[in-house]
């Protein structure tokens, strides 16, 4: 649950080959229907590490960028 985050401006997820497997933007931070469901091209993605980048807009209208890793398990 987020606090102080007004909007997810852009969320991108990449596989280890650098291919973008998911992207979405301009959504509220606690909207579970807008996040990645672990699929790529309609199929469940391979188990492994993925990289995310995220741009957020805070309640005070500041913009912040984050990046990190996600471990997808089946």
Query: Burial level of 68, CB count in 10 A (0-12/13-18/19+)?
Result: exposed
What confidence category does residue 44 fall into, taking pLDDT thresholds of 50, 70 and 90? Answer: very high
What confidence category does residue 68 fall into, taking pLDDT thresholds of 50, 70 and 90? Answer: very high
Q: Average per-residue pLDDT in the chain?
A: 93
Identify the H or E element spanning 52. Answer: strand 48-58
Write out pLDDT tens, residues 45-59.
999 999 999 999 999
Nearest Cα neighbor of 69 from 5, 1, 15, 3 is 15
For residue 30, pLDDT over 70 is answered with yes
User: What local confidence, expressed as pLDDT, does residue 3 receive?
Assistant: 65
């Amino acid at each position: 649950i987020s606090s102080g985050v007004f909007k997810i401006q852009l969320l991108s997820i990449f596989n280890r080959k650098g291919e973008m497997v998911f992207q979405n933007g301009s959504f509220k931070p606690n909207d579970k229907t807008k996040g990645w469901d672990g699929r790529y091209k309609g199929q469940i993605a391979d188990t492994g590490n993925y990289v995310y980048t995220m741009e957020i807009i805070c309640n005070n209208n500041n913009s912040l960028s984050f990046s990190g890793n996600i471990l997808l398990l089946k």
